[in-house]
Chains A and B, each alone.
Chain A
């Protein structure tokens, strides 16, 4: 089971964090800080895995963003790497060649996509298509919500 996933920039700014095991804020902060330090200190040619505390960490860098997953001892590192790649592909499909700014400004969308893809630390759907479909439909629902709500209407003038 995946314990958590972090996205952070090369400058050490957190862009996304998802915890699959409820953790107190204080511990979260400590772990994020520690892990970011470890990962950012690694040289570019180094392998993507490291043992950290009692967990295994799998990370990969895409442009200026590090995608970093903490998994349990028995989990498969390579499939986790694959999972990270799939998530990046999903983001790419959704935003259309995604960049860090997309994730900063639409961070809630990035979460929604992740939630459709992974749940409770386990992969939910291995098909990219069905994940994107679910997201699109949920977005559609959101637009339906929003469309009838013009400003005037809400002001009670319409």
Chain B
């Protein structure tokens, strides 16, 4: 034995230590791998020895090798051995190694549980510390479960060194073992007020991390954190707290208001950039949550933007970067504030740091408006020219396209300009985004009909200059645009002026050097061009010219027939034969043009990219069913060619599914058919164009987005985008001048009147009328498209499990106390565990007092009913509950005493109540309301300020009494009815409803309309009319006129008389519908109104055009003067008892629909909102545009509904109720 020891020690003297190993590795640079494998062999020998010092040394070396990338998982067991060494030196090394290489997949990790537990309870704080540190890196769900209780105990350790580590590791434990959160949370919360700043900061860290994931459970801690924030001077802690508030404010707007002031103070005072940055970020978050028009916070946003400007102007790249990052957050809600710093952001495009330039680009994307798009793009084009390195230039290019095409080309006012930009972009050398440009060209040309003529002329020019572009034939290079150019010229060849020239350009020998897929498109579109030229010549009677062109085709096509590309060759030879046949006919002087052109008849419609996905599965079709019996495994070889074929198919579609199985194939076959039907490039065996569209339903109904029209401008020759910018500026200037004139006029008129005039000097977006009359055809979707399926929440989110309601626990609500099963597992001796129940472990003395208490919590209801409770115990519980009650209301109270800087009008601050008390039980909510009602009755006449304070105090007192009295009756009662605010309870699906009513209809046109009150103006309503062209003719020059009444008048443009109609700002092609809006002014709104009117229009078809008229009656119901306004129960109650309202009621029998539907109907058709709903009784509220309050109490009986209404104006009320009666009697 002794000898063995001696031998081990001597060996040890010759062992390499870590330093030797490192030195050795450095000295064996050439054969490092060999040297290390030698070392590993040595280490393996060392690990076999009994001497722990030798083992520790070996493990230490292994840890080093692990960092170099060597696998040491084989030594896991040895690592555990070293971890369990009694000496700190070795233990430290063992834990280090474990923390570096253990993970959940390490199987021996289970063996560490007892060792770690032992170390955690070690008298030496460093043993404990090292174990905690190690465990934090490799904790597994099992370890977390087994050790949670031990660690929780350590949170109250006497030494702050241990406490802070224990607190920090709890977060990891929660993540792995979410069940531990509820039992551990009270103690964790205590640690927020630990005397040691380190422990305190650790607790803040953990709670902040938890709260960021599931903020709503931590709302009740807000007051405590607020206190910490105002008292702490530690920036690390402050940052965490402020971040936490950032997560909480979206849930509680009142919190945001309270925060603004301290945060702005910090922004002003702090010198730490990190803190400043965090404050700015949180202020932004707060403002976003308050975004609904808080004018007094514009100062805060200004402050943020100012500070960010300073950051961006700083020479420190880091600050610049972060400043831009934060700016983009502001941009989303306050675009105006950011847009004024456009100069600065454009400057950043010149920065030498690419990441900053990219950030600035991102910002620009969100900053564009109709007004500045051209200017910004112009600047970007300059940068494109200057940019070094293709990556950045390509990035610029994609950004330009993104910026222009965002939200369906929303910001483009002049598509000629955009086409010119695209054409200019084709001059970029070496870009990899040719495809992108091509796609844009196609998209614009197809969807913007008005631009086709211009686009075709530009594309023809591109084709003519193809030699410039075609020099770069690399994949996805700029030559891709020729693909688009050829297709556009072919498809819209009727717009082509010099078709002959373009055709010749496409037949040049140089074309054969282009990539195959482009040549194929060339060949196909040549025929389209050829067809249209042929038709042109035949119509003009120039037979020779027609034959010439045929001859040209026959001469040039063979070069494509010889193509190596299969697609090109096939198409070319096919077409060559066709043209030879045409030639024969031409010789016989048979007119052929009509037939040739019929090959390409029919219009192409853009299909939404998602359309295919949204096609509903027809009934009776089971996509998972086998079409053919699955092939046996042995046949798998035969399957191969199919797969290859399929992959080729896939290249055309973007969505690539990873696995292809039988049903997938079947589905795709189906999809392919669909795709082929819509694919302009797909040639069917029998091209009968009419048939092509028969299978796709609803093609006639292409929805069209309309942009108001203005004078189109025409620029001859090859335009530069810059020219457009100039023209655009002039145009806008003109518009502005006109507008200014108008404004002045208006002002003169308005002077003297007491109107709140919004004096915005900046031109608003809508002010800029587009230069073109443009239809953007929206992409087609299949009928009955499936609802969106984008909702993809990650079910594996580890933080989801931590979404645990802690409020009940923190405030100890009896509704959900810690159940026995939730207690953390405590280690017990094995035989005890198996033999005895957990309770038996409790010492006998305690048992007596504890047992009944536990039971009481669990089976309170039963015990209460029996009335067998001891008085003493009851009291204890009640006291507890009362205290918690106070706490629960604390947050509300704390929030309601908002600082004077943010005055909150009663009506506005109330909305918060709903969210603030979410955590509280429904019962309390109801009680509170009752109390308020009572109180308000008592003190209705006292000033509201005074009331608020008193209110709270009284409430507390009352709740005490109430609680007691309630206690006894409570449990015999039935479940309290769930009260619902604003109809949030949607237990059943509602039937689809439309507010549009029929206005008038004849064989040509159908008009439906809807009337909406205007919030900004108390005497205006907007009538939206949908015009639908039912005929096959073109409807134009539509004019709508209404015979004004004394009370109601149509708002006409300045200068026109009352007899003039208002032109409808669009024309209607067959089958198209569109919406126009007309504004009416009213004086009194208490009565419904009917206005007679006429729509006159011109019907244009092949036979000529006729004038038509359609008379209608526009019915202004009283409900159309109401605006859906949310109201909270307290404000509602106050309104009812104010005594200013007149009352009236109706009753309707024979109602069969559910109450839910009934309410929905009233909400929808009569513009009400639900204040509160209890069972089959609901209170509702709405407001008229002139400020009348309308309150309803709707009660549903067996087969009837009774509605009691209260309103400032009795006439309005009775009219409203009559209307409602009519609606309901239809049910």
Contact = CB atoms under 8 A, between A and B. Distances in A.
| A-B complex is real | yes
Interface in B926-967: none
Contact of B355 (A15, A50, A82, A126): A50
Interface string A9-25: 00000111111101111
Interface in A104-147: 104-105, 107-108, 111-112, 115-116, 119-120, 122-127, 130, 134, 137-138, 141-142, 145-146
A79 interface: yes
Contacts of B96: 108, 111-112, 115
Contacts of A156: 2, 5-6
Most B Cβ at <10 Å: residue of A20, A127, A137, A154: A154
Given A47-B320, A74-B243, A141-B126, A120 B168 contact: yes
Contact of B201 (A22, A78, A105, A126): A126
Contacts of B258: none
Contacts of A138: 88, 92, 126, 129-130
Contact of B202 (A107, A115, A124): A124
B322 A119 contact: no
B273 interface: yes
A81 B63 CA distance: 27
B67 interface: yes
Contact of B318 (A29, A48, A112, A123): A48
B67 A16 contact: yes
A46 interface: yes
Given A14-B68, A122-B168, A47 B318 contact: yes
Contacts of B435: none
A35 interface: no
A49 interface: yes
A20 B89 CA distance: 23
A47 B353 contact: yes
B794 to A, nearest CB: 11
A53 interface: no
A104 B133 contact: no
Interface residues of B, number: 77
A9 to B, nearest CB: 12
Interface string B232-266: 00111101000100000000000000000000000
A36 B393 CA distance: 25
B274 A49 contact: no
Contacts of A157: 6
A49 B67 contact: no
B387 to A, nearest CB: 16
B67 A17 contact: yes
A50 B356 CA distance: 10
B15 to A, nearest CB: 13
B600 to A, nearest CB: 48
Contacts of B6: 155-157
Contacts of B979: none
A46 B318 CA distance: 8
Nearest to A77: B322
A45 B103 CA distance: 38
A37 interface: no
Interface stretch (B204-212, B287-295, B633-641, B1157-1165): B204-212
Chain B, interface SS category: helix
A63 interface: no
A97 interface: no
Interface in B172-220: 172, 197-198, 201-202, 205-206, 209, 212
B1168 interface: no
A122 B92 contact: no
Contacts of B322: 49, 77-78
Interface in A32-60: 43, 45-50
A108 B126 contact: no
B137 A20 contact: yes
Nearest to A78: B274
Most B Cβ at <10 Å: residue of A47, A81, A112: A47
Please classify how large the interface on chain A is, using the bins under 10, 10 to 19, 20 to 34, 35 or more: 35 or more
A1 interface: yes
A141 B126 CA distance: 9
A76 interface: yes
A108 B206 contact: no
A77 B202 CA distance: 19
Contacts of A1: 171, 209
B1132 interface: no
Given A20-B137, A112-B96, A145-B87, A127 B355 contact: no
Interface in B90-119: 92-93, 96, 99-105
A29 B172 CA distance: 23
B5 A155 contact: yes
B243 A124 contact: no
A78 B277 contact: yes
A122 B69 contact: no
A119 B201 CA distance: 13
B124 interface: yes
Contacts of B198: 124-127, 130
A18 B192 CA distance: 28
Given A47-B355, A77-B322, A105-B19, A112 B92 contact: yes
Nearest to A153: B9
A158 to B, nearest CB: 12
B24 to A, nearest CB: 12
A49 B318 contact: yes
B171 A45 contact: no
B126 A137 contact: yes
Nearest to A19: B137
B165 A119 contact: yes
Contacts of B172: 120
B87 to A, nearest CB: 5
B92 A82 contact: no
A119 B92 contact: no
A126 B93 contact: no
B104 A22 contact: yes
Given A47-B321, A156-B6, A25 B274 contact: no
Contact of B133 (A16, A24, A119): A119
B234 to A, nearest CB: 6
A82 B103 CA distance: 29
Contacts of A119: 132-133, 136, 165, 168-169
B354 interface: yes
B274 A76 contact: yes
A74 B235 CA distance: 17
B164 interface: yes
B280 to A, nearest CB: 11
Contact of B60 (A18, A108, A151): A108
B22 A104 contact: yes
B807 interface: no
B9 A155 contact: yes
Most B Cβ at <10 Å: residue of A15, A16, A23, A49: A49
Contacts of A74: 212, 243
B39 to A, nearest CB: 16
A107 B63 CA distance: 9
Most B Cβ at <10 Å: residue of A77, A82, A107, A119: A119
Interface string B1-19: 0100110011001000011
Nearest to A79: B274
6 contacts: A48-B318, A49-B321, A78-B318, A137-B126, A138-B92, A141-B126
Given A24-B103, A124-B198, A130-B198, 13 more contacts: A14-B67, A19-B137, A45-B352, A50-B355, A76-B278, A77-B318, A78-B322, A112-B92, A119-B165, A120-B168, A141-B126, A145-B89, A151-B9
Interface of B: 2, 5-6, 9-10, 13, 18-19, 22, 53, 60, 63-64, 67-69, 71, 73, 87-89, 92-93, 96, 99-105, 124, 126, 129-130, 132-133, 136-140, 161, 164-165, 168-169, 171-172, 197-198, 201-202, 205-206, 209, 212, 234-237, 239, 243, 273-274, 277-278, 317-318, 320-322, 352-356
User: Lowest 8 CB-CB distances: which A-B pairs, in order?
Assistant: A78-B274, A47-B317, A22-B103, A120-B136, A47-B321, A79-B274, A122-B205, A142-B89
